[in-house]
Structure 1
Amino acid sequence: MTRIVADISVSLDGYVTGPDPGPDNGLGTGGEPLHHWAFSDDPDDRRLLQSSTTRSGAVVMGRRLFDLVDGPNGWNDDVGYGAEEVGRPAFVVVTGSPPTTMRLTGLDWTFVTTMTEAVGVARQRAQDASTEQGTDLDVVVMGGGATIRSAFDDDLVDVLSLHLAPVVLGGGTPLFTGPRSARTLIQRDVVVTSTATHLTYDVHP
């Protein structure tokens, strides 16, 4: 079964970037520790990253994140989806203005205008990939924060996977804001490593 998995790193005070994120400062000021786990040598971190990447049949992201990964300091031959884990699922970008040019032309990009459409397209791509590979693959909503929050608030998420980094950022991009995000979740898994606490929840409307 194809699940919609929202997967993101977050600080102890609930931010997915530090203050002042931008094209040349994607994680914001002081935000680098959020992703230390993805580049860690801890075997549990590596296992979790590999498992997530392997199960990814399609990936949804917002336009700001696309601009970062497609930018000159973005993904390359050594660092791409899943950090050092090489993955090439279909990528679906939510944007009102598709780019006219792309650097990463070797990846499978689709541009749509709404979150509902993005999840629908990604689900179909993941199901097609599942049939081809003979195994269940998921849709991963990887961010940024506003993209995951939109999918969560629109009841499009089945699983919430948080990588809780041991850092307090004091500001930046919050993961959840406002009453629409209020929800009771079902905790399914907790893995504590040297760099993060990895939390998995089932989400129900």
Structure 2
Amino acid sequence: MAAIEANISMSVDGYVTGPDLDTHPGLGAGGEALHTWVWTEDGRRLLADTFGASGAVVTSRRVYDATDGWAVEDGFFGMPVFVVTHRPHEPVTRGGTTFTFVTGGVEATARAAAAVAGERRVHIMGGASIIQQALRAGLVDRLSLHVAPLLLGAGTPLFAHLGGPVTLTPLEPHHTADATHLTYLVG
């Protein structure tokens, strides 16, 4: 089965969005700063390496809706994307990306993604709830965190609701101007 990697940006104090999501939908107040690393040369290279090793993506319905399914004609991901949802939806295709909506929970979604990923990784990109569920279910083989040098003080915590300890083995960190990129083997 494909290795499953959860991958997300966060603040030093563990938040994946800023506070006040009601008045600042998407990333919350100040949450945009979590992703500035993406727009740098090093960030683009890291993303290319990550997606180059991946054969499928898992995300949440909330992230899909907030990004309008990455509504670009060429299909942002260029690979299958599986959306964890409670609301059935027909598949959506944009260029080389097909979004398949799976109503059976994170485990069923990860299995569907792994079936098409083959020997390549399944890339779980959140949000926080999907990554928490995948960690609780023991599905995650690798956890990659892009830690922005920022204290948000409030927002959506990544490590809430895990239900117990998760053992992590650190791999070599990578530092860029806008983030420290940490990867751990899980278990």
Q: Flag whether TM exceeds 0.5 (same fold).
A: yes
Encode CA deviations 1:97-119: one digit per residue, 9 max, x unaligned: 034796x6443111112111000
Give runs of ≥4 in structure 1 deviating > 3 Å.
Answer: 99-102
Encode CA deviations 1:88-141: one digit per residue, 9 max, x unaligned: 110101111034796x644311111211100000000101xxxxxxxx411000
Counterpart of 2:150?
167
Counterpart of 1:109?
99
Indicate whether 1:124 and 2:111 are aligned: no
AA aligned opposite 2:33:
P
Deviation at 1:164, TM superposition (A): 0.3
Q: Which runs of 5+ in 1 are unaligned?
A: 82-86, 128-135
* Equivalent in 55, 72, 75 of residue 76 of structure 1: 72
Counterpart of 2:183?
200
- Separation in 1, partners of 2:174, 2:107: 31
Native 8 Å contact 1:161 1:198 kept in 2: yes
1:143 is paired with a residue of what secondary structure? coil
TM value normalised by structure 1: 0.82
- Separation in 1, partners of 2:179, 2:98: 31
Q: 1:101 to 1:141 in 2, by over 3 A?
A: closer
Counterpart of 1:156?
139
Counterpart of 2:125?
142
- Separation in 2, partners of 1:65, 1:37: 19
After superposition, the CA RMSD in angstroms is 2.3
Native 8 Å contact 2:91 2:100 kept in 1: no
* Equivalent in 62, 65, 76 of residue 63 of structure 2: 65
Question: Between the two proteins, what is the percent identity of the paired residues?
Answer: 45
Deviation at 1:45, TM superposition (A): 2.5
Native 8 Å contact 2:71 2:94 kept in 1: no
Counterpart of 1:84?
none
Deviation at 1:157, TM superposition (A): 0.3
Indicate whether 1:97 and 2:87 are aligned: yes
- Separation in 1, partners of 2:116, 2:88: 19
Q: 1:201 to 1:193 in 2, by over 3 A?
A: same
2:171 is paired with a residue of what secondary structure? strand
Native 8 Å contact 1:149 1:181 kept in 2: no
Native 8 Å contact 1:19 1:173 kept in 2: yes
Native 8 Å contact 2:149 2:178 kept in 1: yes
1:189 is paired with a residue of what secondary structure? coil
Mean alpha-carbon deviation: is it higher for 115-124 or for 90-99? 90-99
Counterpart of 2:14?
14
AA aligned opposite 2:7:
D
TM value normalised by structure 2: 0.89
